[in-house]
A and B are shown apart, each in its own frame.
Chain A
Amino acid sequence: MMLRSLSADFLKIRGKGIWFLIFLAPIGLVAMQALNFGLRLDYLKQQYADSIWGGLINDTIIFVPIALYLGVTLVSSLIANVEHQMSSWKQLLALPISRTAVFSAKFLLCFLLLSVSCLLLPVFTIILGLTLGFGGTDIPWMDILRMGFLPYLAALPLMALQLWLSLSFRNQALPVTIGVTAAIISPFTLQLSEWFPLNWPTFGYSGPHAEWFVGAGILCGVMIMILGLIHFNRKDVE
């Protein structure tokens, strides 16, 4: 039943600019590095003499959490807005489908869309590296894939929260404000404890025990999703 809802959701987001955003984010991140490396390739080659690929990953990963926070915020809001815009909730939820299926489908849709972004980031990064003439034989496949997915998994709590808020409020000002604020302050919260939730994506990739933060992200994300699901099941549809 959830898959039916999901297939309907994929149809509904057509022409809404969501796919554009999904491609734009990794392209933007890689374009920044293209500029960074393109302008001072010789200097950076010196800096990262032992591993130029590692250097590329390190310079990219700095911006991944911000991009993730903006991504989950905008994608959640756009997905929710498809239903809010013409008050389609009353039509959708009067169909013979459980609210659990509707909510789970939206969550899965959001997750899958952002997964595409997270898959494209490593792909585009490798293309950039090869274009810049980094050796094709010593591509650190695992590290590049980890860069794409570990911070994402550690950012799941914010995704679950954003989707819940976006689906609950017709007015998207509150969820978008929260999400954008999280994105903007996230570089500065690195001063705080590594366990501050906004720091999880960063330490989920580069810390000494990255798996703790990834695990915490998945666990917390699922918990918030379940809370959202319970609320969605009970709420009155106006």
Chain B
Amino acid sequence: MNVNFNGNANDNQNKELIIQTKDLTKKYRGRAAVDHLSLEIAKGDIYGFLGPNGAGKTTTIRMLLGLIQPTEGSIHIFGRELHKDKLAILRRIGSLVEYPSYYGHLNAVDNLEAIRRILGAPKSRIDEVLEIVSLTSESRRPVKGYSLGMKQRLGIAASLLGSPDLLILDEPTNGLDPAGIHEIRELIKSMPAQYGITVLVSSHLLGEVEQMANRVGIIREGQMVFQDTIQNLRLQASHNMELVVSEPDSALWLARDLGANGTLQEGTLIFPGMKDPQVAQLVKRLVENGHDIYRVEQNKKSLEDIFMQVIGEGTRP
């Protein structure tokens, strides 16, 4: 198989785009909460929408659902313009926005029934979605007595009620315990494969998204700072190359002659962002000059570090 690192990104150009926004902007009293955002989500994607709290994720999602009006820009979903075909588009979307919405005095079945009556979905669908989120045995209890995880699952059940082609889930694992997070994550992961549903899932935790998403968009202060595959996010990171040699001081000079800017810390030579050919050249020269090389290692950054680097760009010294 011919795989390159940009493979998925290129595929995306040919795939049908489910969500496409152009210059999407929402201003509150002159301050842009979402600033010229261009989202692209292709069919079958699990798209992780990442960003710190207050970055504009929820505002974007509310605009995608027609809950709030954009100040500027356009939204196309399923190839149609949202403000023209809103109801036809919403019919194919299931959503869960932030903390779950529910009617506490009603049980799970009645909660879903209230939504089903509006959707006009078949009655049997209620049992199906309860089964999917494993709430069948608890479905006759008032929802106010549910744990947060169960309420969140009920919210997902509600979003699946209309057999959607697109699921928009805003922080679906917020406030859940590890077991609950795992359960919801597995559920989301199964959506494209089992039901052919495209998923947009937002989170402020990269660790959570990287385990289910194939593509990520990272938003900071209302602006998209990264939008690509997870693999390409990893490549974004600048790695440090670390060398331990017999005579570090003279080795450092040698490296500088080659144009590699390194530093010496506790006997270890550190070269930030050194590319493979440079490494090969440096090692060769060191050997030629009689240095003993004990270790050549790459200090990999975790995805979390990369995330911090991406969202931190420009705000930190």
Q: Judge: A and B partners, yes or no.
A: yes
Measured CB to CB, the closest approach of chain B to A222, in angstroms, equals 25
Smallest CB gap from B120: residue in A: A4
User: Among the listed stretches B3-11, B13-21, B102-110, which one makes contact with chain A, having 4 or more residues with CB under 8 Å of it?
Assistant: B102-110
Kindly state whether residue B1 has any CB partner on chain A within 8 Å: no
Tell me if A7 counts as interface (CB < 8 A to partner B). Answer: yes
Q: Let me know if A86 and B106 touch, CB within 8 A.
A: no
Instruction: Say which size band chain B's interface belongs to.
Output: 20 to 34
- Supposing A98-B87, A236-B69, A237-B62 touch, asked if A14 and B106 sit within 8 A by C-beta, the answer is yes
| B117–A87 CB distance below 8 A | no
Q: How far is the CA of A5 from the CA of B155 in the complex (A)?
A: 19
Number of A residues near B (Cβ < 8 Å) is 28
Cβ of B32 to closest chain A Cβ, rounded Å: 15
Total A-B residue contacts, Cβ distance less than 8 Å: 88
| Residues B87 and A12 in contact, CB atoms below 8 Å apart | no
Q: How far is the CB of A170 from chain B (nearest CB, A)?
A: 13
Report A-chain residues with C-beta under 8 Å of the C-beta of B155.
91
| Residues 201-238 of chain A, each 1 if its beta carbon lies under 8 Å from chain B, else 0 | 00000000000000000000000000000000010111
Q: Which of B67, B88, B93 has the most CB of A within 10 A?
A: B67
Majority secondary structure of chain A interface residues (helix, strand, loop or mixed): loop
Tell me the minimal C-beta distance from B18 to chain A in angstroms.
16
Task: Choose one: A5, A86, A91, A237; the contact of B104 (CB below 8 Å).
Answer: A86
Residue B132, interface by CB 8 Å: no
Q: Is the CB of A14 within 8 A of B118?
A: no
Q: How far is the CA of A5 from the CA of B93 in the complex (A)?
A: 18
Partner of A94, one of B95, B102, B104, B117: B95
From B110, B113, B158, A91 is in contact (CB under 8 Å) with B158
Interface residue? A39 (CB, 8 A): no
List B113-139 residues whose CB lies under 8 Å from chain A: 113-115, 117-120
Which single residue of chain A is at the shortest CB-CB distance from B110? A11
- A-chain residues with CB within 8 Å of residue B91 when the two chains form the complex: 96
The 6 closest A-B pairs by CB, nearest first: A91-B101, A96-B91, A236-B68, A237-B67, A96-B90, A88-B101
Q: Which residues of B contact A (CB under 8 A)?
A: 62, 65-69, 87-88, 90-91, 93, 95-106, 110, 113-115, 117-120, 155, 158, 162
